[in-house]
Structure 1
């Protein structure tokens, strides 16, 4: 579904002309319906990887390698072709929902215009679909929310709106760039559950960028550990947690805060399961299919 091969990103300082390589030849594949988590410290290249896929890398930057989405080579796509790919096949969920919406437009217009462009829906049909999508992400008072401006809604409510907007165009691939960073812990859990449910219900693939290893393990089929612009290892959440192959991955796992000691749950609650997600059949990604 998505193939990224030998991805290199180089940026140029406009004042000195100095060139700095940000991403160092990374490769990975993503199957239809699969979720891949990019985890690592700030500055490791996670968000830059998403920007290369979207074609919104920094001005003057040079991207090399191959990014192929459903047979379309994204690095060579230009103009109308690239715009249609973004509108119909890709969707970005940003970490700051306030920055994703126009502050002077109501939520309803944000959703309706997006669907009118991506799916060529008439206004009445787009408005009906917008209300339906809001209900899918847990918003019941749809009329009020559709008429509200972004500043009138909480961060958690806005992130639900952004998720609704992301799936409104029926994309094949969701790019979630730390979508819960600006939210409190309780709202984080609610938003991640909604995001995972929407992904499974609509059969979407997803790349999920986060610093939170446990959060990534709860929503992703595989994790890619990044450091200094390089993917060091890729594995299932259980493999990264229990059998990390690199010293950096071991250090990341050791740095995780533990709410309760191993084997001890709070009073009145059952012991925590071995994994943060129910063991559902994992989609087979292209590398496994070829093995």
Structure 2
């Protein structure tokens, strides 16, 4: 479905003319209906990889290698071909939903106009489908949300709206660029569950960009660990967790926050009945 082979991205400093290689010959294959997570620290090249797929790399950048989507050479495609592919086959969910939606227009305009333009639907049909999509992502009060402005909705609600917009065009590939970064932990779990459900229900392939290994493991079939613009290893979540191949992956795993680094208190010997100190017994 998607094949990336030897992807190299080089950017040029407009002031000095100095060239810097950002991505170093990375290769990924993604099957139809499969989800792969790009994980790694900030600056590792995860989002730049998505930009290369979309054809929105920085101005003056040079992209080498191959990117094929269903047999179409994305790097050789004309501007018109790229616009058609972005409208029909690709969808991006950005990390900040406030940056996706126009703050001076109601949410309904974002969904309705997008479908009217891309699918040649009447506004009435587009609004009906928009309401149905909102229900699919767990929004019951669809009319209120469609008539609301972005500042009137929570971050979690806005991200659901963006997910609804992303699947409205029935894309083949969903690009999720840290879609839960701006959300609290509880809302993160809800949004990730919705993403996973929508992907499976609509048969989408997905690239999920995140620095959170556990989050990626929850929704992805495979994980690709990136550092300094290079993919170090690719494997199932179990392989990455239990059999990491590189020192960096092991360090990344060790850096995950843990509530009880030394084990849950209930499993400690001192937690056994009668194991407390005399002072504790007198308390």
TM-score, with length taken from structure 2: 0.92
Find the counterpart in structure 1 of residue 133 from structure 2.
133
Q: Does 1:88 align with 2:88?
A: yes
Structure 1 residue matching 2:57: 3-state secondary structure: coil
Q: How does 1:156-167 map to 2 (within 5 A)?
A: 156-167=156-167
Matched with 2:242 is: 242
Contact kept in structure 2, 1:176 and 1:206, CA below 8 Å: yes
SS of corresponding position for 2:86: helix
Aligned CA distance change for structure 1 residues 64 and 189 (closer, same or farther; 3 Å): same
2:209 is equivalent to residue 209 of structure 1: yes
1:187 aligns with 2:182: no
For 1:30 and 1:130, the matched residues in 2 are separated by: 29
Structure 2 partner of 1:50 = 50
Q: Deviations over 1:120-148 (max 9, x none)?
A: 21211111000000000011110010011
SS of the aligned residue for 2:32 comes to: coil
RMSD of the alignment, in Å?
1.4
Structure 1 gaps of 5+ residues are 268-291
The answer to whether structure 1 residue 75 and structure 2 residue 85 are counterparts is no
Q: CA deviation at 1:259?
A: 2.5
Shift of 1:264: 4.6
Q: How far apart are the structure 1 equivalents of 2:151 and 2:43?
A: 30
Indicate the residue corresponding to 1:11 in structure 2. Answer: 11
Could you report, residue by residue, the CA deviation over 1:75-120 in whole angstroms, capped at 9, with x for unpaired residues? 1112221101000000000000000011111111100111122222
Q: What whole-Å deviation, never above 9, does each CA across 1:16-75 have from its counterpart, x for those lacking one?
A: 000000000000100001000000000000000000000110000001111100111111
SS of the counterpart of 1:186? helix
Aligned: 1:259 with 2:259: yes
Equivalent residue, structure 1, for 2:270: none
What is the aligned partner in structure 1 of residue 177 from structure 2? 177
SS in 1 for 2:91: strand
Q: Tell whether the 8 Å contact from 1:260 to 1:266 is kept in structure 2 after alignment.
A: no
Secondary structure at 2:162's aligned position in 1?
Answer: helix
The structure with the largest alpha-carbon Rg is: 2
Question: Aligned partners of 1:260 and 1:130: how far apart in 2?
Answer: 44
Matching residue of 2:278: none
What does 1:12-27 correspond to in 2, within 5 Å?
12-27=12-27
What is the aligned partner in structure 1 of residue 168 from structure 2? 168
Following TM superposition, the consecutive aligned residue runs of length 4 or more in structure 1 with deviations greater than 6 angstroms are none
Which residue does 1:280 correspond to in 2?
none
Q: Which runs of 5+ in 2 are unaligned?
A: 268-283
Alignment correspondent of 2:275: none
TM-score by length of 1: 0.89
Number of the residue aligned with 2:100: 100
